[in-house]
């Protein structure tokens, strides 16, 4: 599904990723944990194609294709989805227009016909309900005036509509109360399937109680310094990250 090989990337000439290797197979859930500033979010941005993040070395294979050669929108159409840590507010563009434009673009890329308005509405309403957002959120401007939790749920709603092959959740749990956390986790779990993979970027073990990962990686100083199964997350929760830093040294 996704093969990251010796990935180096810099932002404003500052090296952030210093040789990431990661192999994600279909159906797997990989959690990426690590201290602040370790490069977790940068990895998400680089994979989604954000401008200003320059890959200086390495490669990323997405399915049969070279991910780094693709434009931002091509990546999305090929089935890569990034749930933003800080979703952007866009007043004047309704959530519904936005979602339809997005779904149509992805479907067109996959040579599927546009959904007619009625089927789309039905689908949009059902995912809206699934993430426990009132239907009125579909009519509001994209993320406009949404609370932190509502924005995160809106991200999950988009993910459920777009049904990506690979979803990257960038600290989707930050700022969520326990109820919202469960809603988000249920959304993710409902999408888990043998041909869909997830990268869950998080600070805390808490989210992983609800979204059970197959692998846990610790990112520190721009590299993956330790990988393990879900028990690693519990160990990190108990011991913090400092002992890993010492191990690396």
Query: Can you list the pairs that 116-120 forms with residues at least 24 positions away whose Cβ atoms lie under 8 Å?
Result: none
* Contacts (CB under 8 A) with other proteins, residues 86-105: 87-88, 90-93, 97-98, 100-102, 104-105
* Collapsed DSSP state (helix, strand, coil) of residue 86: coil
* Contacts (CB under 8 A) with other proteins, residues 202-241: none
Dihedral, 95, 96, 101, 104 alpha carbons, nearest 10: 140
From residue 57, give the alpha-carbon distance in Å to each of 5, 11, 89: 9, 13, 33
Residue 229 C-beta: closest distance to other proteins, Å: 30
Hey, which bits of 139-186 come out as E strands? Answer: 141-142, 166-170
Number of residues that bind other proteins (CB under 8 A): 32
Helix axes 117-130, 178-191, angle to 10 degrees: 130
Token digits of residue 8: 């180096």
User: Which of 41, 42, 48, 172 contacts other proteins by CB under 8 A?
Assistant: 48
Residue 14 C-beta: closest distance to other proteins, Å: 19
Say how many C-beta atoms besides its own lie within 10 A of residue 225's C-beta: 17
Interface with other proteins includes 115 (CB under 8 A)? Answer: no
* Collapsed DSSP state (helix, strand, coil) of residue 14: strand
Residue 8 C-beta: closest distance to other proteins, Å: 22
Residue 241 C-beta: closest distance to other proteins, Å: 29
Residue 85 C-beta: closest distance to other proteins, Å: 12
* Contacts (CB under 8 A) with other proteins, residues 53-82: 71-73, 75-77, 81-82
Residue 101 C-beta: closest distance to other proteins, Å: 4
* Contacts (CB under 8 A) with other proteins, residues 152-211: 158, 162
Straight-line distance from the first to the last Cα atom of the chain, in angstroms, rounded to the nearest whole number? 32
Interface with other proteins includes 84 (CB under 8 A)? Answer: yes
The residues binding other proteins (CB under 8 A) are 48-51, 71-73, 75-77, 81-82, 84, 87-88, 90-93, 97-98, 100-102, 104-106, 109, 141-142, 158, 162
């Amino acid at each position: 599904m996704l093969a990251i090989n010796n990935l180096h990337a810099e932002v404003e000439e500052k090296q952030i990723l210093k040789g990431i290797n990661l192999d994600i197979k279909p159906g797997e859930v990989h959690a990426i944990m690590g201290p602040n500033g370790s490069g977790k979010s940068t990895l998400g941005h680089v994979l989604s194609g954000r401008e200003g993040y320059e890959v200086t070395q390495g490669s990323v294979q997405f399915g049969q294709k070279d991910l780094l050669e693709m434009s931002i929108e091509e990546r999305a159409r090929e089935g890569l989805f990034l749930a933003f840590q800080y979703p952007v507010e866009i007043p004047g563009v309704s959530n519904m227009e936005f979602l339809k434009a997005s779904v149509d673009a992805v479907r067109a890329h996959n040579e599927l016909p546009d959904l007619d308005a009625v089927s789309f509405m039905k689908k949009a309403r059902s995912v809206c309900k699934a993430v426990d957002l009132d239907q009125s959120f579909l009519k509001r401007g994209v993320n406009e005036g949404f609370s932190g939790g509502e924005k995160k749920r809106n991200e999950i709603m988009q993910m459920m509509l777009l049904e990506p092959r690979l979803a990257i959740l960038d600290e989707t749990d930050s700022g969520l109360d326990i109820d919202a956390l469960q809603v988000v986790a249920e959304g993710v779990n409902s999408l888990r399937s043998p041909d869909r993979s997830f990268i869950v970027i998080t600070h805390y073990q808490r989210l992983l109680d609800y979204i059970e990962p197959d692998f846990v990686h610790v990112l520190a100083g721009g590299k993956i310094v330790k990988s393990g199964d879900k028990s690693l997350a519990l160990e990190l929760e108990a011991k913090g990250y400092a002992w890993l830093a010492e191990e690396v040294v």
